């Protein structure tokens, strides 16, 4: 009896692990990536409130879990903008 329970438990764990891996590596699952592995960007394009566009090489960037702001550093200047006003590009 204990052997059957052990086999069923192992099978359930294997099935759950296979399903988890399938969802993680499938980038087209509802057009979202479950794990985002892109953390380095080369270029940023930012639209400022006065309509000016800033484009340059990204020195650093930070996003915030509790909001829609992104902080991007370009040419020594730090810009804190709404995520709708910035494009980060990895070439």
In which band, very low, low, confident or very high, does the pLDDT at 3 lie, cut at 50, 70 and 90? confident
In which band, very low, low, confident or very high, does the pLDDT at 43 lie, cut at 50, 70 and 90? very high
Taking a C-beta distance cutoff of 8 angstroms, is the pair 17, 64 a contact? no
Domain boundaries, the chain: 2-31, 43-89
Lookup: tokens for 13: 């764990």
Tell me the pLDDT tens digit for each residue of 15-31: 999 887 777 666 555 54
Average pLDDT, the chain: 85
pTM: 0.59
* Model pLDDT, residue 89: 93
* Model pLDDT, residue 17: 92
Q: CA 66 from chain center: how many Å?
A: 14
């Amino acid at each position: 009896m204990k052997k059957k329970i052990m086999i069923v438990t192992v099978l359930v764990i294997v099935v759950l692990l296979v399903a988890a891996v399938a969802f993680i590596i499938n980038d087209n699952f509802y057009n979202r990536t479950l794990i985002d592995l892109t953390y380095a960007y080369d270029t940023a394009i930012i639209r400022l409130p006065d309509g000016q566009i800033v484009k340059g090489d990204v020195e650093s960037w930070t996003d915030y879990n509790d909001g829609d702001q992104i902080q991007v550093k370009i040419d020594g200047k730090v810009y804190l903008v709404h995520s709708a006003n910035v494009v980060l590009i990895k070439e």
